[in-house]
Amino acid sequence: MIKKNSKINYANLFSEKKLGLVDRTREIKQLMYALFTREHMLLMGPAGTAKSQLAINAFSAIKGAETFQIHLTKQTTEEYVFGPLNIVELKKGNLIHNTKGSILTADFAFLDEFFDASDVLLRSLLGVLNERVWLKGSQRVKAKLHTAILTSNYQRESKLTQAILDRIIFKADVNPSTAKSKRIKIYKNALKQPNFKASKVITLKQLKDITDKVETPNTVKFPHNILTIYDELLTNFIKESKKYISPRTANKALKVLKVAAILDNRNKVEYRDLEELRYVFCVLNRKLEEGIFDAVYEKFVGKAEEERITLKDLKEVEGKVAKVPEDFNGLSDKEFIGKMRELNEYVHLLEDMTSPTSKTTEARDIILEKMRNIIANNRDKLFKRKEGK
């Protein structure tokens, strides 16, 4: 139950326990991104793998929302999805649909066995899913639709379905659990809660508040270096996977980075957020795609993050070295020896430091040269001072 005015931990809002699921943590996280970006999700896999349960329970957990649900077949006509013809208007010779209670007036939609629908129906759904508008003759209806979950036991290949798939940026293969412990937990849940119903965890308004923030420009900053690494990650993933990712999907993927920052209470995207792109670039649970993503991520983002951390550490050392006087003549013998020891420790530290990029190597070498010059210029001064005494 939602407590009024309670502070919500949006990052942990949906969970397996709250949705009555087992071994679906990653699919739930992908769904969370779909909800917070006002995008759609496709779940593919054999029957009995909780695809429908995930969709139904997730939408049921949102208070104040209306959900449209239908099982599609080749025989499903537009009237079942967009509403029946208005008899009064039909008698006047006008083909006008009564859209009340249809997908057009719902906040969420669960379209089961999506690829079983006819091409005619799929073309009509294409506009609703992407532009949130339904055009039929002279009738033009703006859809309320926030997010739709599509399920299917297979992926249908055609030019039409490819166009639809490009507009569904979140996709997952949902397979049976392979771990014995997970299967036993599923059995226990079935025995303990055979008629599980998800509790309300968020209101529709609270969800839309996050979505509005994501869709509003400049609410989250994208540093130039982040966009540069993002482009390298995208282009190299496409190159290695031979997978087509359209400019539309590439732009929409940026919203996932905004969500990752917002859920961590930040107003700026960081390197670590880029790892969340696996939920867009990959069909979740396809090991080949995810393996390629991991390799590309480590090559480009991992190096960049390592560079950032190393440069930060070097800046701290540089700040401490800047406080060391270049001439030790004004120091006491004890201070003189202490400063020389401190500088030598920093030199050994930097000499042993692993440098991930040429940029960090250059920064390290500049600091090393400065410290070595200070040491060289002061090395004999203590002995000369003692000789002078």
> What is the model's pLDDT at position 7?
61
> What is the model's pLDDT at position 389?
53
> What is the model's pLDDT at position 158?
79
Q: Helix 333-352 vs helix 303-322: angle between axes, to the nearest 10 degrees?
A: 170
Give the tokens for residue 259. 């969500």
CA distances from 182 to 148, 149, 275, 336 (A): 28, 24, 26, 65
> What is the model's pLDDT at position 2?
42
> What is the model's pLDDT at position 43?
96
> What is the model's pLDDT at position 6?
46
Residue ranges for the chain with pLDDT beneath 70: 1-8, 382-389
CA atoms of 40 and 33, how far apart (whole Å): 9
Are the folds of 10-209 and 217-313 the same? Answer: no
> What is the model's pLDDT at position 29?
95
> What is the model's pLDDT at position 380?
75
3-state secondary structure of 359: helix
Question: In 6-16, which positions are buried (b, 16+ CB within 10 angstroms) versus exposed (e)?
Answer: eeeebeebbeb
Fold classification of 217-313 (topology level): Helicase, Ruva Protein; domain 3 (1.10.8)
> What is the model's pLDDT at position 5?
41
Cβ contacts of 280 within 8 Å, gap of 6 or more:
33, 169, 170, 249, 252, 253, 256
CA distances from 110 to 10, 210, 374 (A): 23, 22, 70
> What is the model's pLDDT at position 4?
44
Domain residues of the chain, as ranges?
10-209, 217-313, 324-388
> What is the model's pLDDT at position 54?
94
> What is the model's pLDDT at position 347?
87
Q: Does domain 10-209 have CATH number 3.40.50.720?
A: no
> What is the model's pLDDT at position 386?
59
Kind of pairing between the strands at 139-142 and 67-71: unpaired
> What is the model's pLDDT at position 1?
41
Question: In 320-350, which positions are buried (b, 16+ CB within 10 angstroms) versus exposed (e)?
Answer: ebeebeeebeebeeeebeebbeebeebbeeb
> What is the model's pLDDT at position 201?
92
Q: What is the pTM of this model?
A: 0.79
